Amino acid sequence: MKKYNVAVVGATGAVGTEMLKVMEERKFPVAELKALADPREAGAIVKFQGRDYVVEGASPDSFEGVQIALFAAGDVVKTLGPEAVKRGAVVIDNSSTFRMAPEVPLVVPEVNPEDVRWHKGIIANPNCSTIIMVVPLKAIHDAARIKRVVVSTYQAVSGAGIAGLKELEQQTRQWANGEKLVPDAFAYQIAFNVIPHIDVFEPNDYTKEELKMVFETRKIMHEPEMKVSPTAVRVPVFRSHSESINIELESPLDVETVKELLRKAPGIVVQDEPASKAYPMPLYTADRDEVFVGRIRRDDTVENGINLWVVADQIRKGAATNAVQIAEVLIGERLI
């Protein structure tokens, strides 16, 4: 099998570290690896396939000889992404920088893998909550077309990075010791609380996180008029996002048909046995790549309504794994 020179930008962060782990698990065909990060982190060590790699400060010259560049480092892609492309790499970017750019494909391999064919050097990885939602939506939409989606997310603190994880852990200890809880990573105390606010508020009083779910879903699904009404909530869970999704269809589908469609769809595990209390939960979906779907039931308040409960590891399927899967599609399509 042909192997490729791969750069991981942000290799020391939560998503970059997970990208290395996912590539190793999936036996991604890496010839040479470059672990890149902020120059201040140069000299740090990351492990891949049993070998230590010294982290280099990312610069335009870092991409010489690189065929695939996985970015997990935020805004730095604005400058370094085009430089990587100039040097012959295909960039797969986990930030929001290029997601809505018309010339950049926004890809979830279980939903729209064919979109990689029209890339011009950069492919965007969608927002984690969007990825988790569109994987089950795809199978249902293909069968009966979705008119409207109402989604409420229950997002783990790791979505805010290492600072979010540390804050929940620290506040839990402080609460147990009777100490004062002081928020830093979040606007309010997150331990034993939920915060209906992720990212900044826009003029229409939706948050940026919520609007990502609207516009990214439309682009991925190739449905520019699809109605999506989101509410994004931070919850005191370490890992894996949950979503309550209400769908209104153009034509009827019974619940058993929906379950069967989802069972046959790629990347989905149906866990739906209410009598035995079997349903998806963050506790049991962490470190998994599948999207788990349960609590599948009719919504009798609207014509052709369906409710779903969806849970997935947002660091893996919502970020690192999806990026690696995009690279696998590129290889499979012989686009590198």
pLDDT in tens, 255-264: 999 999 999 9
Q: Work out the mean pLDDT of the chain and round it to a whole number.
A: 97
| C-beta atoms surrounding 50 within 10 Å | 6
Q: CATH assignment of 130-315?
A: 3.30.360.10
pLDDT > 90? residue 74:
no
Kindly state the tokens that stand for 89: 């790499």
Residue 193 structure tokens: 């609380």
Q: Which pLDDT score is estimated for 148? A: 98
141 included as an active-site residue = no
Mean pLDDT of all residues in 70-81? 94
| Residue 20 amino acid letter | L
45, β-bridge pairs: 54
pLDDT of 296 > 90? The answer is yes
Percent of the chain with pLDDT over 90: 98
Tell me what the mean pLDDT of segment 212-235 comes to.
98
Per the annotation, the verdict on 241 as an active-site residue is: yes
- Per-residue pLDDT of 22-55, as tens digits, reads 999 999 999 999 999 999 999 999 999 999 999 9
Tokens 């009404």 appear where? 229
Q: Name the active-site residue from 119, 128, 197, 222.
A: 128
Radius of gyration of the chain (CA): 20
Q: Which residue out of 119, 141, 222, 241 is catalytically annotated?
A: 241
Task: Report the C-alpha gap between 263 and 136 in whole angstroms.
Answer: 10
Give the percent of the chain with pLDDT over 70.
Answer: 100
pTM of the model: 0.96
CATH 3.30.360.10 location in the chain = 130-315
When pLDDT is averaged across residues 248-260 and rounded to a whole number, the result is 97
* CATH number belonging to domain 4-126+319-332: 3.40.50.720
What value does the mean pLDDT take over residues 121-147? 98
d(CA 203, CA 98): 22
Residue 139: name the closest of 4, 272, 265 by CA.
265
First-to-last alpha carbon distance for the chain, in angstroms, is: 14
Q: Give 162's pLDDT tier (boundaries 50, 70, 90).
A: confident
Backbone angles phi, psi at 179, to 5 degrees: -90, 165
- What 8-state DSSP symbol labels residue 180? P
Report which DSSP code applies to 319: I
Mean pLDDT along residues 2-6: 97
Is pLDDT above 90 for 1?
no
Residues of the chain with CATH 3.40.50.720: 4-126+319-332
Give the helix/strand (H/E) hosting 164: helix 162-176
C-alpha 229/C-alpha 218 separation (Å) is 12
pLDDT number for residue 216: 98
